[in-house]
Amino acid sequence: MATGVGTASGQTTDSRLTYTARTSRTSYGVPHIIAANFASLGFGAGYAQAEDNICLIAEKAAMVDATRSRYFGADEENLRSDVFFQKAKLDRVVERLLAGTPNGVDAPSQEARDLVRGFAAGYNDYLSKTGVANLTDPQCRGKLWVRPLNELDLWRTTWATMISSGSLAALDAIVDAAPPPAGASDRAPRSGTDVADVVEKAMGRNEANGLGSNAYGLGREATGNRAGMLLANPHFPWDGPDRFYRMHLRIPGVYDVEGASLVGDPIIQIGHNASLGWTHTTSTAWRHVFHELTLVPGDPTSYYYDGRPRKMTQRTVTVQAPTTTGGLGPVTRTMYDTLYGPVVVYSGELPWTTTTAYAMTDINADNLRALDGWLQMGRARTVRDLKTVLDRYQFVPWNNTVAADANGEALYGDHSVVPRVTDTLTATCIPTPFKEMYKVTGLAVLDGSTSKCALGADPDAAVPGILGPAHLPVLIRTDYVANSNNSHWLANPAQPLTGYPRIIGSEQTERSLRTRLGVLQVQQRLTGSDGLPGTTFTTENLWQVAFGNRVYAGELVRDDLVALCTANPTATASNGATVDLTEACAALRTWNLRVDLDSRGAHLFNEFARGPIPFQDPFVVTDPVNTPRVLAKGNPRVLTALADAVQRLAGIPLDAPLGAIQTEPCGAERIPIHGGPGSAGAFNVISSTLEPGVGYPKVQHGTSFVMAVEFGANGPAGRQILAYSQSANPNSPHYADQTRLYSQKGWDTIKYTDTQISADPHLRTYTVRRP
């Protein structure tokens, strides 16, 4: 019998299997891994990632193993997380998804399973050789939550990523849902858009909560060498397990992709091969729908379906958490499921009353297709091949896809996983109180009492319940496509995408300032009006555009704002205090309209632009990139917003250079950070929390992995950087090196071919194997 390594799930990793991978570490610690098969490729990736970020991977595993309370403290957030994931374990959610036919759609393919198995083995091999007590990272050295992993642990973390914009984001509403007590009076849900507003905030569906991105796909008409070019610029958290990791994975003749993955994943999610590059941006589509349940009188845990009562499924979940006496004790919650999914409660917006309850369908809850989707994406050679992959697997959980190829074509598509909410369905299945909400926001509440309002199945969809490719927006062009997190409508203003279900996103509506700047930057580059040489893109000027640090709101309104505060040197703040604006006016007058390290006064404008800037002119649907653009100088909110900004910045010089007050701590070092908030129209998004009297001493999220790649006769070339560096280990040599590079607007070069890799001055090659 084979010996094995025990895991929390009680399974074993078979030690009879052999793995061999060669790793070449280039500058900044980036691993280029070569293996003969997918199992060994996963082994090399798992070993390399454990070397750099074992604590982050172990923390993810603790979360999906429902042990956060045990190891990280029994606060409510950890307890709810444990209850949620313990229920998923009891329900054997991931095991059921793995049990289908391994074809990549019904269940993961053998190649994907080999990758995951190998990754677990590589991680375990590093841990076994090093030992928990000897880890160099103090964050998890000697910690009990660092343990050997197996495939199931990793599939559970993959599943958690899939549902992160659905049921995981709604975790509190699911875990805390409880039927009304006996004798409770009935309450009607709120109507209008209140429900969507509450749900959007609760689920973190906005950039203030950590997710966003920019992307350009440039075709032959926009590039100097007449081939495709791609800018990837995801905005993700700078700390915690949801960080990117740069790597290059290669099986000669089979798979060869360089780019970045989320830490703990064995596949490249944003990257390029020899002739195709792709990236993702967060999509506006909703990943779930709600169903309004009509309850059986006298029994709030039963509901009617097609005229017959159905009982909810109750699941009592117990987790172990620290007690006040120092041991562990049980914490128990009861959760409720329906044929649609779990019951949810959003206070007065979607309450559970004596007559009505609401259930949630997370359309990604059965999505383990993603590893296969990204695997096949890495094998695509053109954007048209890529579209075939997107259509076949329909795996992208909550993202748009932007791509460009060596033929000079560029693609935009929101081919993400979207509930099948069609115009026909919404016409008859949304209860009257929620019709306007769907029209305005795209969030659907469906009548849950009848099978006629079930999501159904599109004939071209990969799985039932989701919109098929024919219902999803896609655009292929030879000039450009762009996305900065607004909907599909304006991927290219010359060819607006219209006529798609509202659940995907809005059409013919005002775009964000960042989206507008993103399009303008391309248009101005192609006309030569941006001050850079020429009228096409190279990777050099694409990098300059990405890190040009323009602030579009400042370009539009700064001069009028200065004129207004010059004429009104005092203003009343929101708290009623009178604020002297003289110094603020002077700082804004000399600000260079950018968020560079030496930009003086940028922080003042960023604080002013926290809330929506009032514009005087209307949005014009035929001129969406340029409207609105005129400051509403007569609106008293303008001066109030400036006065509020001055108050918040008390103790901080209003004309301080941004680099002196916006920093990232790396040990004892404070690295100056350029970039600014998307709310101000900054393209290079950096979001930091203001510390009164200090500034912005820690980046929360924003620009993370950046890649500018082009395709030519000698293969792919270009620039890339991981803004927060390769390792979260403060004792790693690669803990802050790319962060310093980012501070200087520097870059690491694309290293894809053998020639590019072997020319790296810091090349270090080693082989990992088992046994």
CA angle 463–465–468, rounded 5-degree value: 65
> Which one of 69, 81, 213, 416 is the catalytic residue?
213
Q: What are phi and psi of 553, to 5 degrees?
A: -60, -40
Euclidean distance between the first and final Cα of the chain, in Å?
Answer: 16
DSSP 737: H
The answer to whether residues 607 and 645 touch, using CB atoms and an 8 Å cutoff, is yes
> In whole angstroms, what is the distance from residue 351 CA to residue 307 CA?
22
Cα separations (Å) of 637 from 440, 512, 614, 630? 25, 20, 8, 15
Local structure of 606: helix, strand or coil: helix
Q: What are phi and psi of 320, to 5 degrees?
A: -100, 130
Q: What is the rounded radius of gyration, in angstroms, for the C-alpha atoms of the chain?
A: 26
Asked if 213 is an active-site residue, the reply is yes
> In whole angstroms, what is the distance from residue 762 CA to residue 256 CA?
22
DSSP 472: S
> In whole angstroms, what is the distance from residue 367 CA to residue 32 CA?
29
Local structure of 547: helix, strand or coil: coil
Strand order in the sheet with 399-405: 474-477, 410-413, 399-405, 276-282, 270-272, 255-262, 244-251, 31-35, 19-25, 764-770
Residues 6+ apart with CB under 8 A from 728: 52, 53, 55, 56, 137, 139, 239, 243, 735
Cis amide leading into 297 (omega within 30): no
Strand pairing class (19-25; 229-237) = unpaired
CA angle 740–206–520, rounded 5-degree value: 70
Query: What is the distance of C-alpha 738 from the center of its chain?
Result: 21
- The b-or-e profile of 192-213 (16+ CB within 10 A means b, else e) is ebebbebbbebbebebebbbbb
Query: What is the distance of C-alpha 533 from the center of its chain?
Result: 34
Q: Find, among 95, 242, 109, the residue nearest to 168 by Cα.
A: 242
Strand pairing class (705-712; 715-722) = antiparallel
The answer to whether residues 234 and 546 touch, using CB atoms and an 8 Å cutoff, is no
Query: Look-up: residue for tokens 């989206």?
Result: 515
Q: Find, among 305, 295, 314, 312, the residue nearest to 357 by Cα.
A: 295
Q: Find, among 22, 245, 25, the residue nearest to 760 by Cα.
A: 25
Quick one: how many helices (H) and strands (E) in the chain?
21, 32
Query: Look-up: residue for tokens 């429902």?
Result: 66
Query: Look-up: residue for tokens 């071919």?
Result: 753
Q: Which run of H or E residues covers position 43?
A: helix 38-64
Residue positions annotated with a catalytic role: 213
